[in-house]
Amino acid sequence: MTERVVLAYSGGLDTSVAIPYIAQETGAEVIAVAVDLGQGGEDLEVIRKRALACGAAEAVVADAREEFAADFCFPALRANALYMDRYPLVSALSRPLIVKHLVAAAERYGGTTVAHGCTGKGNDQVRFEVGLAALDPGLKVIAPARDFAWTRDKAIAFAEEKGLPIDVSSRSPYSIDQNLWGRAVETGFLEDIWNAPTEDLYAYTADPARPREADEVVITFTEGVPVALDGRALGPYQIIAELNRRAGAQGVGRLDMVEDRLVGIKSREVYEAPAAITLLAAHQELENVTVERDLARFKRGVDQRWSELAYDGLWFSPLMDALNVFVAEAQRHVSGDVRLTLHGGRAVVTGRRSGASLYDYDLATYDTGDTFDQSLAKGFVELWGLPSKIAAKRDRVVG
């Protein structure tokens, strides 16, 4: 039986060229797998037909938009996932889902090897290959751009030689990855980190400096999961898509940062994540209202570690499984409404309410009706500072 290689297929030059190249180098049939993560752009049926025209034995298109929103974006939201406290894991969240579909295709079509288009300088090679090893350790992996020293010039020449049905003349100066959770832009003139981003970089967000009327939105959460906008019950994909449109129209969610890649280098990235940034702002504020102080303090450390695991390609790991159990427990009371104003590139919380709120007006107020017993404070302060006081006395004696 002929060997089969399952290829993570995007429809672009590199993965299109990979189909006949892998067949030529290995003698295997190629099964192309494209996954719809809400990235927009080209019709995936067109991409499927292109894969077949490039020589794929089979081409699979998976509509994973709802799965991505519910099982990857919302878990990240519950963990307030921001790598280096800024990056909302746009690409990192999509890779384990793609891996799931690659493994499923390998099982369905008898594939023994999985191929991807990642280079040796990026994070995605790790995310793909570590994920594949976790879900099916028996699968082999090849990466033409990395393993065969594949360059863009070679790819173009090979495409022309084989007469592949792809346009290699028009090329964006940037490397772009996008999905429902956001959009990542790198390379080109951005590699000089002194260069400011230009407006043509952006597709998900409007210029935040442009005058416009503000937009107000109320987001309803149940156990840390968004379930409604402005009182309208919506599914996960619908919520993210609508907030991408509304927050994006206000210029919300633009980020320009130098981040620490897993492979040890620093990389300049420009991101657009209007829905993600809006939802994270709302969720964090609702946690402030509903999560007890020590639990909240501990969870901030868990959130950071969760983000690092997702970024580092360890989605399918024992530690991630354990952290998800903790996060779920910490979200039991994170239910209620958060009101935000979207304007001028910012998502600003202006109101919050919850039936599980820990905010007690009678304890918090400074007006008549205050129920806080201030007579208890003096002794509390003395006992709280007693260890420091004793240590200071000791230091004066021995110092």
Catalytic residue of the set 95, 183, 246, 254: 95
Query: Tens of pLDDT along 155-182?
Result: 788 888 778 887 655 566 778 899 999 9
Q: What is the mean pLDDT of residues 87-98?
A: 97
Contact 23, 30 (CB under 8 A): yes
Distance of alpha carbon 397 from alpha carbon 399, whole angstroms: 6
308 pLDDT above the threshold of 60? yes
72: pLDDT confidence band, cut at 50, 70 and 90? very high
Which of 3.30.420.40, 1.10.3720.10, 3.40.50.620, 3.30.1510.10 is the CATH number of 4-171? 3.40.50.620
**58-63/113-115 β-pairing:** unpaired
Query: In the annotation, is 153 catalytic?
Result: no
147: pLDDT confidence band, cut at 50, 70 and 90? confident
Token pair listed for 371 = 């129920």
DSSP conformation class of 87: B
Query: In the annotation, is 175 catalytic?
Result: yes
Distance of alpha carbon 292 from alpha carbon 303, whole angstroms: 16
Token pair listed for 123 = 């994070």
Detail the residues annotated as belonging to a binding site for L-citrulline.
87, 123, 127, 175, 259, 271
Higher pLDDT, 10 or 183: 183
What is the length of the chain? Answer: 399
pLDDT of 12 reads: 82
Taking CB atoms within 8 Å and a gap of at least 24, the contacts of 94-97 are 94/35, 94/37, 94/68, 94/177, 94/179, 94/181, 95/124, 95/127, 95/128, 95/131, 95/313, 95/315, 96/72, 96/127, 96/131, 96/315, 96/316, 97/35, 97/37, 97/64, 97/67, 97/68, 97/71, 97/72
pLDDT of 169 reads: 56
Detail the residues annotated as belonging to a binding site for L-aspartate.
119, 123-124
pLDDT of 94 reads: 97
1: pLDDT confidence band, cut at 50, 70 and 90? low
Contact 30, 54 (CB under 8 A): no
Nearest to 342 by CA among 254, 264, 293, 274: 274
Full-model pTM? 0.94
Query: Tens of pLDDT along 340-398?
Result: 999 999 999 999 999 999 999 999 999 988 999 999 999 999 999 999 999 999 999 99
Catalytic residue of the set 71, 175, 317, 357: 175
Residues carrying CATH 1.20.5.470, the chain: 361-398
State whether CATH 3.40.190.10 applies to domain 176-291+333-353. Answer: no
pLDDT of 42 reads: 73
Catalytic residue of the set 124, 177, 303, 337: 124
Detail the residues annotated as belonging to a binding site.
8-16, 87, 117, 119, 123-124, 127, 175, 259, 271
pLDDT of 122 reads: 87
Residues carrying CATH 3.40.50.620, the chain: 4-171
How many CA atoms are closer than 13 Å to the CA of 3, on its beta-carbon side?
15
pLDDT of 171 reads: 60
Homologous superfamily, domain 361-398 = Single helix bin (1.20.5.470)
Q: What is the mean pLDDT of residues 267-274?
A: 97
Query: In the annotation, is 124 catalytic?
Result: yes
DSSP conformation class of 263: T
Token pair listed for 282 = 């709302």
Query: In the annotation, is 14 catalytic?
Result: yes
Q: What is the mean pLDDT of residues 260-269?
A: 94
121 pLDDT above the threshold of 90? no
Detail the residues annotated as belonging to a binding site for ATP.
8-16, 117
